[in-house]
Homo-oligomer: A and B are copies of this chain.
Amino acid sequence: MENRFPIFDVAPVVYYGEEVVPVKSIAEESINVRATVVREGHDGLLVEVVLIDPSGVEVSRTPMREFWPGTDRYEAEVRTNSLGLWHFYIEALSPDRTLASKSSLYPIFAENDLALIGAWYEFFPRSEGAKLNKDGSITSGTFKTAERSLQRVADMKFDVLYLPPIHPIGYAFRKGRNNTLTPTESDPGVPWAIGNNDGGHDAINPVLGTMADFEHFVKAASKLGIRIAMDFALQCSPDHPWAKDHPEWFTIRADGTIAYAENPPKKYQDIYPINFDKDYAGMLAESFRVLELWISKGVKLFRVDNPHTKPVQFWHELIAKVNRTYPDVVFLSEAFTRPAMMHALGKAGFQQSYTYFTWRTSKEELRAYGTEVSVETSAFFRPNFWVNTPDILPFHLQSGAPAIFAMRALLASTMTPSWGMYAGFELYEHLPLREGAEEYLDSEKYEIKVRDWSKPTLAPFISLLNSIRRDNRALQRLRNLRFHPTDSDKIIAYSKRDGENLILVIVNLDPIHAQETIVHWNFYDLGIAEQPMKVTDLISGYTFEYAPHTWVRIDPATPGTPVGQILKVTL
């Protein structure tokens, strides 16, 4: 009998539109599989999930258990262990295994670790090694001078260095400081206003150096264990070669002009948007050509600018085309927009995405959002938690209190396996454009920054956080984030476990006052028996015995370890 035990609501299954696309995974990752299965009467039912590796071999058959009595909903963890396209199916059996039902096969795609795991740092090469001259003018940094900053990035133990666009910058409607429309001769322009007579998306801004300089820079970074992520911004300055050679890629208004780009409330007078509906195939081919060029230079990560202003289907096809030839290339979606669009871009193929973490500050907000990204949407949406970006100086950083910088870095680096930080954060930069704005004053988007790296810095703490991340695989996974009750709204507690690596994190969300509470560990989620735990605080180095209900006091005024604990449990 077919459907002897009907199998309903198999999860995770991801649909891009109405097409089943693979669940996101990396080579070594545990995935929670669920299905509802019913059997008549009172005889037992055996439900198993069968995992098939990329070569088509059944590698595991895992019994599923009803995760809450009476629900008929079964779950089990499956674990991929190599790259490629895996599948799973559900089988329901009578105990004697004479009667059975099987579900369809559902896909899981295991990608390169960088698709999920990475500490990202962002700097503008033109500011690295830039000099303030005696006459008040600034000499731009170049790839050569920026190469000297790589050691600073490596010392903080970042894995990825993301560069805003490095291409020639247009002159038409060039912006001045603080987004003014009246630039001076010396204003360098916005890197996202791509293209001028020196070339477009396939060229290097001559101010920064030559293609050879760039290649040298990528290699130097690589020697320090740093991968370069480039910006891929599908738009251009009116001076871009595309504007002349490919008018069919733009919307020409009745008066013969092209409308500039907007992302309300922001206006980009110096940027033309692409019209993808006029020569879709041409734009797809050109994008592939450009990406392939940079891939040939050693770049495997692309941070895609505002993908939500371009057709989702375009990304679906472009990313699939790139990944068919270059399976280890990773695309990060810079979509700060409505949840459905952010999710759609993940389903379409983006390996990871910017998130709302930047604005989640209270304990309940962090718990809810952490659970959303780790449990509810992890099959198709990999979060990259950025503490700041050149576009966003969140209100909570505007006090400049060092503890809140440390706290946000601690949260971002331990809640998810990918987190990001834009240069200046470690120097506690915190002045807004104006009261009520979440933008930086004197934003680096419009000018070259000459920073004083001798000022007090959070860099050693960042380095410690990234080092702890490298040493603890539990922190390199997403789906394992679990929150634990505490008696205080100011103290959040969560855990991550992968195999024998079990990490507890306790954070004081109050950057000013000491807070104390009891943390009530959920031992079911920890996967151990309820008992006192021997723990080592990887921040302070101290070892403790923590009771199942742990009293903690965290004082942001404590030198060196101001804001929380990262506890490794001895199993």
Which of A70-78, A111-119, A240-248 is the contact stretch?
A: A70-78
Contacts of A57 in B (CB 8 A): none
A312 touches B1 (CB 8 A): no
Q: Known: A8-B340, A16-B6, A18-B103. Is A1-B311 also a contact (CB below 8 A)? A: yes
Q: How large is the interface on A (under 10, 10 to 19, 20 to 34, 35 or more residues)?
A: 35 or more
A348: nearest chain-B partner, CB-CB: B6
Closest-CB distance, A173 to chain B (whole angstroms): 20
Contact of A38 among B263, B264, B341 (CB under 8 A): B341
CB distance from A23 to the nearest CB of B (A): 16
Q: Which of B42, B71, B104 contacts A18 (CB 8 A)?
A: B104
Which of chain B's residues have a CB closer than 8 A to the CB of A264?
Answer: 42
Q: How far is the CB of A50 from chain B (nearest CB, A)?
A: 16
Q: A72-B338, A277-B99 are in contact. Are A313 and B2 (CB under 8 A)?
A: yes
Q: Which A residues, 309 to 355, have Cβ-Cβ distances below 8 Å to chain B?
A: 309-314, 316, 338-341, 344, 347-348
Q: Restricting to A271-325, which residues have a CB under 8 Å from any CB of B?
A: 273, 276-277, 280, 308-314, 316
Closest B residue to A262 by CB, please name it: B42
Assess whether A4 is interfacial by the CB under 8 Å rule: yes
In angstroms, Cα B10 to Cα A70, docked, is 28
Contact, CB under 8 Å: B42 / A6: no
Return chain B residues, CB-CB under 8 Å to A17: 3, 6-8, 101, 103
Q: Which residues in chain A, 1-58, are within 8 Å of chain B measured between CB atoms?
A: 1-10, 15-18, 36, 38, 40-42
Q: A residues 542-569 with Cβ under 8 Å of B?
A: none
Q: Name the CB-closest residue of B to A313.
A: B3
Q: Give chain A interface residues in 412-461, CB to chain B under 8 Å.
A: none
- Residues of B near A344 (CB, < 8 A) are 6, 8, 38
Contact partners of A5 in chain B: CB under 8 A: 312
- A403, B89: Cα distance in complex, Å: 54
Closest chain-B Cβ to A278's Cβ sits at a distance in Å of 11
Residues of B within 8 A of A16 (CB): 3, 6
Q: Is the CB of A41 within 8 A of B308?
A: yes
A15 to B6, CA, bound (A): 10
**Contacts A38-B312, A312-B3 given; does A72 touch B8 at CB 8 Å:** no
Contacts of A15 in B (CB 8 A): 8-9
Question: Which of B40, B73, B280 is within 8 Å of A309, CB to CB?
Answer: B40
Q: Are A340 and B71 closer than 8 Å at their CB atoms?
A: yes
Pair B277/A1 contact, Cβ less than 8 Å: yes
Question: Within the assembled complex, what's the spacing in Å between the Cα atoms of A310 and B347?
Answer: 40
B41 engages A313 (CB within 8 Å): no
> How many angstroms between the C-alpha atoms of A71 and B339 in the bound complex?
7
A310 touches B40 (CB 8 A): yes
Complex Cα gap A17–B89 (Å): 13
In the complex, per-residue mask of A340-380: 1 if CB is within 8 Å of any chain B CB, else 0:
11001001100000000000000000000000000000000
A1 and B313 within 8 A (CB): yes
State how many angstroms separate the Cβ of A330 from the closest Cβ of chain B: 21
Question: Complex: how many Å from CA A71 to CA B340?
Answer: 7
Complex formed: what's the CA distance from A314 to B72 in Å? 19
Q: Are B72 and A340 in contact (CB under 8 A)?
A: yes
Bound CA span A340–B72, Å: 6
Q: A312: which of B6, B104, B277 is its contact (CB, 8 Å)?
A: B6
In the complex the two chains form, what is the Cα distance from A233 to B148 in whole Å? 83
Q: Return the contact of A72 from the options B4, B7, B18, B341 (Cβ within 8 A).
A: B341
What is the distance, in angstroms, from A372's C-beta to the closest C-beta of chain B?
15
Min C-beta distance of A295 to chain B, whole Å: 25
When the two chains form their complex, are residues B6 and A38 in contact, meaning their CB atoms are under 8 A apart?
A: no
Q: Knowing A311-B40, A312-B6 touch, does A1 contact B341 (C-beta < 8 A)?
A: no
Which residue among A99, A263, A341, A348 has the maximum number of chain B CB atoms within 10 Å of its CB? A341
Minimum CB–CB distance from A253 to chain B (whole Å) comes to: 15
Which residues on B sit within 8 Å (CB–CB) of A18? 7, 10, 103-104
The smallest C-beta distance from A342 to any residue of chain B, in angstroms, reads: 9
What residues of chain B lie closer than 8 Å to A8, measured between beta carbons? 15, 17, 340, 344, 347
> Are A36 and B73 in touch, CB under 8 angstroms?
no
Q: List 11 A-B contacts (CB under 8 A).
A: A1-B314, A3-B17, A3-B316, A4-B313, A5-B312, A38-B344, A40-B308, A40-B341, A42-B262, A42-B309, A71-B340
Beyond the given pairs A6-B312, A42-B263, 17 more chain A to chain B contacts, judged by CB atoms under 8 angstroms and listed by A's residue number, are: A1-B276, A1-B311, A3-B316, A4-B313, A5-B312, A6-B313, A8-B15, A8-B344, A10-B18, A18-B103, A40-B312, A40-B341, A41-B273, A42-B309, A70-B338, A72-B341, A98-B277
| A contacts, CB < 8 Å to B | 1-10, 15-18, 36, 38, 40-42, 70-73, 98-99, 101, 103-104, 262-264, 273, 276-277, 280, 308-314, 316, 338-341, 344, 347-348
Closest 9 CB pairs of A and B: A72-B340, A6-B17, A3-B313, A41-B309, A38-B341, A38-B344, A3-B17, A36-B340, A6-B312
